[in-house]
Amino acid sequence: MHHILGGFFGRLDSDEGALVSLFAGVDGGGTSARVVIVDGEGREVARGEAPGAVVTVVSPEDAAEAVAAAIGEAIESAALERITRDASLHSIVLPLDGLWAGLAGAGSVEAAHAVRTALIERGLAHRITVGTDVRAAYEDAFPDGDGVLLIAGTGSVAWGMGSDGGPIQVGGWGKLLGDEGSGYWIGMKGLQHVMAAYDGRSPQGYLYSQMLEATGVRTPSDLVGWVEAAKKREIAVLAPLVVASSGLGDPAAEDIVATAVVALVSLVEAVFLRGAGQREDTKVVLWGGLIADSGPLAGRVSEALIHSGFNVSKRKVDAPLGASRLALRS
């Protein structure tokens, strides 16, 4: 008996009604959950996206619901494609054959188990695996071999594979214990500069005025309450402003940005020191809103890595597609 999600029924391979094997890969975080559905040959069938949720042991249902909603959006998209463009396409049936969900916050065994249980209860797939969003991104970044993935968005982490085939993670320990060089880290350093300048311990330059304007506070002392109420992402979105201020010659902003670049390079260096191969032979891929493609720090971090002897690749990372490959193998 097939479960139903959002009113959409099975995907049939032929006029005879043979079921096609379908697999879903999910990349989920606090902002969004993105899914790619592929067939047994790895060919893309549909994509979907829904608001995200970070995995927690206390409320794993939130992340499970985000995954289910993203799959529902993919099913709806496939159905619309069939109606409007290609009637030879067929509908999608649940449960799928496999689901690999790469989710932020699923790094602990307890959290991964909790959200996997919640996903099983929703009948989304026969085989369900829960891992991290970093693992999903790594799979797409290096489909033909090993390398090092440097991620810098709201948080920061570097990830690679050791000579024994085991994962090597450096960083990714959250805003209190890590995330050096991340968007959150840069944004917080910018806010701390405002208070130092307000005290007279640092010049009240361009960055000072821009940070006050961006946060909408009337006086620097109001930042205390603003920071206490702000979500991590609200602080991280201030990072491009700090980077832009650096480019305009603000010395405090330049100090922050230069320190962030050094911190991100050190994450990659530590992965290699722990056995991820030779730096001149192993590719490094940059991912995350801060350093990927046209991200505000993409150029500086890439240049710093190259200067340190690393082989930087410009590959664009498609994390849900990487997760779908993992689903095929699981």
Whether 15 has a pLDDT exceeding 50, the answer reads no
Instruction: Domain count for the chain, please give it.
Output: 2
- Is residue 36 within 8 Å of 24, Cβ to Cβ? yes
Residues 127 and 150 in one domain: no
Instruction: Provide the pLDDT for residue 19.
Output: 66
113 domain residue, yes or no = yes
Whether 226 has a pLDDT exceeding 90, the answer reads yes
* Strand pairing class (96-103; 125-131): parallel
Residue that terminates a domain, selected from 64, 97, 131: 131
Cα-based distances in Å from 116 to 8, 122, 251, 323: 23, 10, 48, 15
83 domain residue, yes or no = yes
pTM for the full model?
0.81
Whether 6 has a pLDDT exceeding 50, the answer reads no
13 confidence band (pLDDT: 50, 70, 90): very low
Domain that holds residue 217: 146-315
Q: What is the CATH number of the domain that holds 108?
A: 3.30.420.40
Residues 127 and 185 in one domain: no
Across residues 83-103, what is the average pLDDT? 73
198 domain residue, yes or no = yes
Facing residues of 98 across strands? 23, 127
Residues 251 and 206 in one domain: yes
264 domain residue, yes or no = yes
Question: What sign has the CA pseudo-torsion 88, 94, 98, 103?
Answer: positive
Whether 122 has a pLDDT exceeding 80, the answer reads yes
Rama region for 116: left / alpha / beta (φ>0; ψ in -120 to 50; rest): alpha
Across residues 318-328, what is the average pLDDT? 94
- Is residue 275 within 8 Å of 168, Cβ to Cβ? yes
Structure tokens at 53: 């949720």
Residue that terminates a domain, selected from 74, 107, 131: 131
232 confidence band (pLDDT: 50, 70, 90): confident
DSSP string, 81-95: HHHHT-TT-----SS
- Is residue 324 within 8 Å of 309, Cβ to Cβ? no
